[in-house]
Amino acid sequence: MEWHDEGIVLGMRRHGETSAIAEVMTLAHGRHLGLVRGGRSRALRPVLQPGNRVALTWRARLSEHLGEFRVEPLSQRAGLLMQSATALHGMRAMAALLRLLPERDPHRHLCDAVEVIIAHLEDPATAGELFVRFELALLNELGFGLDLARCAANGSAVNLVYVSPKSGRAVSKEAGAPYADRMLALPDFLRADLNEAADRPGLAAGFRLTGFFLDRHVYEPRGIKPDSARESFITATLKALEKQQTA
């Protein structure tokens, strides 16, 4: 069997003396592993760093086998990502989140989203907003999507300021007022009626929102803990925004 695809390197681990097993989020074949012969060589090791975009040829005798990758670099940006704490933690956090998906399950729009986020990791406000939206898309792919378009109580599409922790649906200010202390905040940048850019308080609320539902629906049922890279990315992003505001 053989296929050709493109993707973003998520990680690599050594295999034997000279080879490596590469983990790549591909466009058409999902998160996929493959053996790269000579992957630890001076020529290939820089290519197999997280964040790089590569062209792949995968070969195996049977579809269920690990198979072998032939890898060619398309965009080598791992070196640039390592120069920024926000970028480095962001790439690691996205890789950890993508590992929550079944292996070889196609999610092209998530692969495209990672590409967009990588391109904006040097801008903490934009990267933070895109990351929150990425987590919302991931929750949706896992079957736990949030409904942030209309109020769960009255159907209104405006003045949505809360999210119900039980249903994952938006709630208007009027309908949610009696239960405000039990609600999650819906940041303005996620409200369709406002079209606002994310700011530091909004991003903090957005990270709390997605983190709550990831914990509830994904991490706790699976008996696993969130990867520390997510919290490191959040801390680095909010710290960078604070510096920008005080500069």
* Predicted confidence (pLDDT) per residue in 70-104, tens digit: 999 999 998 888 888 889 999 999 999 999 999 99
Q: Supply the pLDDT for residue 179.
A: 95
What's the CA angle centered on 38, arms 36 and 44, to 5 degrees?
Answer: 85
Does 206 lie in the same domain as 140? yes
Write the pLDDT tens digit of every residue in 20-35: 999 999 999 999 999 9
Nearest to 104 by CA among 194, 30, 39, 45: 30
Token pair 């940048």 is found at: 189
Q: Is residue 166 part of a domain?
A: no
Written as one letter, the residue type at 24 is V
More confident residue, 74 or 193: 74
Q: Does 3 have pLDDT greater than 80?
A: yes
Cα 159 from Cα 92, distance rounded (Å): 35
Q: Does 10 have pLDDT greater than 70?
A: yes
Q: How confident is the model at residue 245 (pLDDT cuts 50, 70, 90)?
A: confident
Write the pLDDT tens digit of every residue in 48-62: 999 999 999 999 999
Does 117 lie in the same domain as 50? no
Give the domain-ending residue among 42, 57, 76.
76
Q: Is residue 171 part of a domain?
A: no
Cα 42 from Cα 71, distance rounded (Å): 14
Q: Supply the pLDDT for residue 247.
A: 62
Helix, strand, coil percentages (3-state) for the chain, rounded to 5, are: 40, 20, 35
Q: Supply the pLDDT for residue 83.
A: 84
Residue 14 makes CB contacts below 8 A (sequence gap 6+) with 20, 21, 40
* Lowest-confidence region among 99-113, 163-177, 188-202: 188-202
Token pair 């975009």 is found at: 53
Instruction: Work out the burial of residue 16: count CB atoms within 10 Å of its CB; fewer than 13 is exposed, 13-18 middle, 19 or more buried.
Output: exposed
**Segment 121-142 mean pLDDT:** 96
Q: Supply the pLDDT for residue 122.
A: 87
Q: Is residue 38 part of a domain?
A: yes
Q: Are 95 and 31 in contact (CB under 8 A)?
A: no
Q: Is residue 167 part of a domain?
A: no
Does 139 lie in the same domain as 17? no
Average pLDDT along the chain: 95
Q: Which residues on adjacent β-strands are paired with residue 15?
A: 19
Q: Is residue 172 part of a domain?
A: no
Does 229 lie in the same domain as 141? yes
Report the domain count for the chain.
Answer: 2
